[in-house]
Amino acid sequence: MDFPKNREIDALVPEYTEKGDATHVYLRDGSDYVIDVTLKTVLKFLAYRSCRDICRLREWSAEHTHKRLNNPLPLDEELVLMPYRARHPRVAGDAIMGCVNAAAGVRLKEDEGTLLLTAGGHKLRSLWKPETTQEHLDRAFSICRELLEILDEKILRRLKMVGAVR
């Protein structure tokens, strides 16, 4: 699957097409397109591409947030996917959750419902109340901070190893 780099992804949203379930990919440069695979397949591919175990990522996120459901998916410090309710299912078992990249920067706006404003300028409607969406955003931002702190520690340790920092 030819797919954009993690830092380029703004949001991934399930969508119905003539061919069935698909994924709408929103990018930080403002563009978007639809691919004919489910969101679950896209998430598995992203984890696989990064040599990550998606189950372990979800466990780590649950440990960090102290919540069991709908936790952010921290694929790396440039791609922390915050789930949100994106659509109503047509049939039982349909994917209803989309996800936005909290690491790219997401804002919440109340405008006849709940809108998520992404770094790429996309406006995505959440079916959750603004308070619920904000709680999930706060959890995702917390995980972003944690991942950046871990990265900072790694960089500092590396710089000390090569003698650039004392």
Domain residue limits, the chain: 6-161
**How far apart are alpha carbons 133 and 150 in whole angstroms?**
26
Quote the pLDDT of residue 166: 63
Mean pLDDT of the chain: 91
**If you average pLDDT over residues 96-121, what whole number do you get?**
92
Q: What angle do CA 58, 60, 61 make, to 5 degrees?
A: 65
pLDDT digits (tens, 9 = 90+) for 49-108: 999 999 999 999 999 999 888 999 999 999 999 999 999 888 887 788 999 999 999 999
- Residue 165 pLDDT level (bands cut at 50, 70, 90): low
What sign results for the dihedral spanned by CA atoms 112, 69, 37, 50?
positive
Six-digit token string for 12? 């991934």
Answer whether 54's CB lies under 8 Å from 67's CB: no
Q: Is the pLDDT of residue 21 over 70?
A: yes
**pTM for this prediction:** 0.89
Q: 10 Å Cβ neighbour count for 78?
A: 17
Instruction: Report the share of the chain in percent with pLDDT over 90.
Output: 70
**If you average pLDDT over residues 132-143, what whole number do you get?**
94
- Residue 156 pLDDT level (bands cut at 50, 70, 90): confident
Quote the pLDDT of residue 111: 78
Answer whether 85's CB lies under 8 Å from 128's CB: yes
What sign results for the dihedral spanned by CA atoms 19, 21, 27, 30?
positive
